[in-house]
Amino acid sequence: MKPVILVTRKLPDAVEDRLRRDYDPRLNPGDVLYSADELIERAGDVDAILPCHTEKFTAEVIARLPGRVRAIANFSVGYDHVDVKAARARGIIVTNTPEVLSDATAELTMMLLLGAARRASEGERLVRTGTWKDWSPGFMVGTQVTGKRLGILGFGRIGQVVAKRARGFDMEIHYHDVRRATPDLEAGAIFHPTPEAMMPHCDFLTLHCVSTPETFRLLNAVRIALLPDGAIVVNASRGAVVDDEALIGALKSGKLTAAGLDVYTNEPDIHPGYRDLPNVFLMPHIASATKETRDAMGFRALDNLDAVFAGREPRDRVA
């Protein structure tokens, strides 16, 4: 008998083909977002669950899962949607998919950075709506990226790739993380022991930290005030690491020139203030949305499930 796997969202064809080959999957061809009650009901006869970040495995949900469920193999690098403490207490293995989405996320980060700096969303609206009239020296003037200082908050795999890409624009790299990277990983980047120490050196600031109680609203009004006037902020990590009211206030006041955002609190019901600001370049949480990366995420999740059902320690266990 093949293990039964509940797959909560529509996955890439290649991933679902492998699921059908090796497991007995309960697929979601309509890509319906299940409620907590529906999730519990559909998990009634399964051995593991392969969810995305859209499903919330709170302590209450985990407590209601049938005892047959052995693993939650996330199709995501972030796992803040899972109460890992509750899962651990139930003896449920939790895994994620690190490494495979670093390049795609770094690419989108650079797109957000450039789009915010060069006023891409404003320019596109002018062209699409027919309100672009003529050219003048003061028309659509943005911020040049080349040669500027980039602060990276969270210098893990994604932050390091962002630094590598940014060096192509001759940017001076600054970073903060809980520990200093080795010289080969720094590659000349300048370490700051606290976020506060780094902020004054950031013409651009990108956020690449996981969502934890310690990083909740890490970018707040106090730290924004330490940024140079006219700085640009980019977030492709998790919405919870930003204080929305503080960021919106700084964008309105002119303290910040612009922002580029791919993630938000309470997605997709984002803070309405962002929609009203012309100086925010908005994307709908698509940092990993390339065919290559989505396939790789699925295969990584399945590698973890393969290990669980073979009695081995999964490579990406987080609980």
Question: Do residues 87 and 72 lie in contact, with contact meaning Cβ atoms separated by under 8 Å?
Answer: yes
Query: Which one, of 231, 272, 274, 289, lies nearest residue 255 by Cα?
Result: 231
Q: Is 208 marked active-site?
A: no
SS3 content of the chain, % helix, strand, coil (to 5): 40, 15, 45
Q: Is 107 a catalytic residue?
A: no
Q: Could you say which of 285, 292, 294, 315 is catalytic?
A: 285
Q: What SS3 class is residue 291?
A: helix
Q: For the chain, first and last CA: distance in Å?
A: 26
Q: Evaluate the CA torsion angle 92, 217, 214, 190 in order and state its sign.
A: positive
Measured CA to CA, the distance from residue 150 to residue 162 in angstroms comes to 10
285 a catalytic residue:
yes
Burial of 279 (0-12, 13-18, 19+ CB in 10 A): middle
**Separation of CA 265 from chain center:** 12
Instruction: Give CA torsion, residues 178, 180, 184, 190, to 10 deg.
Output: 110
Catalytic residue among 41, 124, 196, 267: 267
Residue whose pair of structure tokens reads 């956020």 in the numeric block: 207
Residues 6+ apart with CB under 8 A from 195: 153, 176, 218, 223
Residue carrying structure tokens 């290990």: 307
In degrees, to the nearest 5, what angle opens at C-alpha 17 toward C-alphas 312 and 11? 90
From the list 149, 192, 223, 238, the catalytic residue is 238
Does a cis peptide bond (omega within 30 degrees of 0) precede residue 268?
yes
Residues acting as catalytic residues: 238, 267, 285
